[in-house]
Each structure stands twice: as structure tokens, then as C-alpha cells.
Amino acid sequence: MRKRHLEVRRLGRVAYDEGLLLQNELEQTVIERRERDYLLLLEHPHTFTIGRRAKENGVLATAEQLKTLDVTVFETNRGGKVTYHGLGQIVGYPLVSLSPDREDVHQYVRDLEAVLIAVMADYEIEAFRIEGLTGVHTREGKIAAIGIHIKRWVTTHGFALNVNTDLSYFDRIIACEGEPVTSMERLLGRELNLSEVEDKIIHNFMKVFGSVLTPEIKN
């Protein structure tokens, strides 16, 4: 399998619609050129996103409660149901060409899970898959959600890892399959440096996907 060049962009805090616009731009670049892949790492303001498999009652909060909580709601073309993005959470958007040698959607999702399970192992957190579900789980609950979209074998959307996340926002939605959620901060009993966790995500992403890093772009 040939190595692909990976450009990482650490973007800091980005509004959800701005992140979506950047994904759309880079998606077209990857489709047209197939020269390099991208990994966007960022943090969103409080946002509920509704995936293609979501039901109408997936968001439990009323319009007034959403305003009080300063939460924005977006419908998206990713797979999955409803999830939360917010402060203290690392969101990763890989824009990866799966063509010609990785044209397997299920394997791609398993690879994303493998990246995050390896990151958890770096912090001595036992994490695992649950058959029939998507994402990364621990004995205390789900720690990372995954929802993707693929166009012409180029991926968008990706994963959301709860690092120092305020988990009370998940009480306002029926997240994924309704399973409990947790965070690295809760499991380790301390707040983590997001940049340090991003370093470990990049390292493990390169190992799993066999990527060669191009000069990093920081916000």
C-alpha cells in the first residue's frame, strides 16, 4: 500500500458552519488532485449535529433551552444520529482519498476507531469497540463518536473525542444509541492539555493510515 502525504491543520476553535465550509473546499481539492490527505483538528462551540439516521426527537432541549445554553443545531450529511460538539472536545475531520487501495467504508471506520483506541492506550485508558456500534467505548461509557460521509471515495466529517468535555450537554440529546458517555478528564481525574492529545492523535493516525506528514499548518 503506497504511503500518502498528510497535511495536518490545527485550527483551534471554529464555528461548525465554518468547519463545514473548509471541509467542502478541501474535499473538492482531494477529489480533483488525489495528491495529499488532510486532517483537521479543532474545537467547536456548543453544537448539536443531526446525522442521516437521526429521528425527529433526537434533540430533547426546547428552542428556549437551546438559546439559554447557547447551542446551535445543524443537520448534516454524515452517518449516525445526533451528537454533541463543544468546548473541551477534540473534533477530527480526516479528508482522505480511499481510492484506489482503501475502497472499504467499514474498514475506514475501524481504522478511525483503531487510532482513537491507541490514543487512549497512550493514557492507560482501556478502550474498545462494541460489535454493532460505531465509536470508541470504555467501561464507563462512550468516549468518542464517529460519523462519516464519503463522496467519490473521499471522506469528510470524522470523530469527536471527549477530552475535557462538559458531559451535561449530552443530557439534552439522545446520543447515538443512547449509551452513556464519558471523557478522558473524568476517567483520569484531571484536565488534559488539548494540544498534547492532538499530538498523540496525529502520531497514531499516521501509524494506522501509513501517512507521511507534510509541514504542519497551525492556526
Known catalytic residues?
176
Count of Cβ atoms closer than 10 Å to residue 110 Cβ: 14
Residues recorded for the chain: 219
Kindly provide the residue ranges of all beta strands, DSSP E only, lying in 31-88, ordered along the sequence.
36-43, 47-50, 72-75, 82-85
At residue 174's C-alpha, the angle toward residues 169 and 178, to 5°, is: 110
Q: Count CA within 13 A, CB hemisphere, residue 205.
A: 26
147 touches 176 (CB < 8 A): no
144 touches 170 (CB < 8 A): no
30 touches 5 (CB < 8 A): no
